[in-house]
Amino acid sequence: MRNKAVFALIVAVIPACAGAALSNLPSLRLPLAATVSYAACAFFLAGICLRVLRWASIPVPFCIPTTCGQQKSLVWIRPDSLDNPSSGLGAAMRMGGETLFFRSLFRNTRCQVANTRAIFTESRWLWMGAIAFHWALLVIVLRHLRLFVQQVPASVLLLEKIDTLFQVGIPGVCISDLVLLAGLSFLLGRRFADPVLRYISLFSDYLALWLLAGVAATGLLMRHWSRVDVAGVKQFSLGLATFSPVLPHNLGSLFFAHLLLVCALVAYIPSSKLMHMAGVWLSPTRNLANNSRAVRHVNPWNQPVVTHTYAEWEAEYRDKLKEAGIPLEETDVEATYSN
């Protein structure tokens, strides 16, 4: 298992090294950086669209929500409209709970077995780690928006202001960076420390985390150690966004390592488990209302099957049915007599 983690680390280091090497090739820096960035973006967008369209093109033959609360039945029994939604609106709210607050993960328990007893304890660590990581990542991505538009929107500026509320250091330390680091360390650490997680983890589980860690590490080093020229970065990213790439000379190897790690991560997303960010919206056990007895769910390919019809059944058991006094179909009875 350890091999997978180490091997994944080695693979994740490759883009960082490539970036550092690139920064030392003055004539190739711009064309390569631009090409790689565009390729990664194209791969990301096309890949995500393809994956989502493919999922969406597959039918949902049956209405199979996992119900996690009381159904809507008799008027005097209060239904759990969030965990067992009976309408589309309820299902949408359930999805909101899943995607914004990781509701299902929030339920998590830990079960230990000792002396032929199962002991359950609430276990919110995974939920905390996951929610910290994902929300921090969202804030960081939003903060990066200011690099891609000339006029930075007020909302992004406000977000950044809140994020550096502590006003420690110059440039200020972002809360989201710290939270992201803590979340990532937890998610990675548990894959090392927990024997169950070690056993189930694949190479790709480590790779995704190492890439994210690499992106975060190079980003933080740029901001707080090498003090990258933000104006220069913005010049580059704006150039990319307007399809007229330029590359200021003062961007060093850390920047290129960061850039290539981001490109690697972004290009990796469509073919990886990171597609859960899109897939969760399509999950039929969560996004359907539990109303399959009230509203007929239609299966577009409803498979025709061979059944054992009543007529065949009655033909086989006619004598026994008659003897037992179980009513027969009249027409068949006549048919019997006429035979």
Partner 1 sequence: MSKPPIQIDLQPPVGDWADTSPEFRKGSWCYSATPQNLVQLGMPNPRQWQPSDLDWKLPENWKKTILDGMKERLAKFRSFRLFMDICVRCGACSDKCHFYLGSGDPKNMPVLRAELLRSVYRRYFTLTGRIFGSLAGARDLTEEVIKEWFYYFYQCTECRRCSVFCPYGIDTAEITMIGRELLNLIGCNINWVLDPAANCYRVGNHLGIQPHSLKDNLEFAADELEEITGIRVDIPIGKKGAEVLFVAPSADYFATPHYYTLLGYLALFHEIGLDYTFSAYASEGGNFGLFSSHDLMKRLNAKMYEEAKRLKVKWILGGECGHMWRVIHQYMDTMNGPASFLEVPVSPITGTRFDNARSTKTVHIAEFTADLIHAGKLNLDPRRNDRWKVTYHDSCNPSRAMGLLEEPRYIIRNACNHFYEMPENTIREQTFCCGSGSGLGTDENMEMRLRGGFPRATAVRHVKETHGVNLLACICAIDKATLPTLLDYWVPGVEVAGVHELLGNALVMKGEKTRATDLRGEPIPAVEQEAAHA
- Please list every residue from 194 through 233 that binds partner 1, using CB under 8 A: 194-205
Residues in a beta bridge with 161: none
Measured from the CB atom, is 316 or 334 closer to partner 1?
316
Residue closer to partner 1 (CB basis): 30 or 328:
328
For partner 1 (CB under 8 A), the number of binding residues is 102
Using CB under 8 A as the binding rule, whether residue 116 contacts partner 1 is answered as yes
Query: Smaller CB distance to partner 1: residue 58 or 170?
Result: 58
- Name every residue whose Cβ is closer than 8 Å to that of residue 122 and which is 6 or more positions away in sequence: 108, 109, 110
287, 66 contact by CB (below 8 A): no
Examine residue 93 and tell whether it contacts partner 1 (CB under 8 A).
no
Site for partner 1 in 128-147 (CB under 8 A): 130
Instruction: Say if residues 103 and 97 touch (Cβ distance below 8 Å).
Output: yes
Counting contacts by CB under 8 A, is residue 125 touching partner 1? no
Give the N- to C-terminal CA distance of the chain in Å, as an integer: 75
Q: Three-state DSSP class for 113?
A: strand
Contact set for partner 1, span 72-91 (CB under 8 A): 72-74, 76-77, 79-80, 83-84, 86
| Cα–Cα distance for residue pair 15/223, rounded to 1 Å | 20
Q: How far is the CB of 189 from partner 1 (least distance, A)?
A: 13
**Residues in region 178-197 near partner 1 by CB under 8 A:** 190, 194-197
| Nearer CB in complex with partner 1: 199/243 | 199
Give ∠ CA 269-275-276 in degrees, rounded to 5: 145
Within residues 4-23, the interface with partner 1 by CB under 8 A covers 7
Q: How far is the CB of 304 from partner 1 (least distance, A)?
A: 9
| Tokens 């509701």, located at residue | 103
Of these, 113, 154, 168, 170, which contacts partner 1 (CB under 8 A)? 113
Of 248-287, which residues contact partner 1 (CB under 8 A)? 271-273, 275-276, 279-280, 282-286
How many angstroms separate the CA atoms of 205 and 8, rounded?
9
Q: What are 87-93's contacts with CB under 8 Å, separation 24+?
A: 87/289, 87/291, 88/289, 90/289, 91/65, 91/286, 91/287, 91/288, 91/289
Q: Which is nearer to partner 1, 147 or 197 (CB)?
A: 197
User: What residues from 37 to 66 belong to the interface with partner 1 (CB under 8 A)?
Assistant: 51, 54-56, 58-64, 66
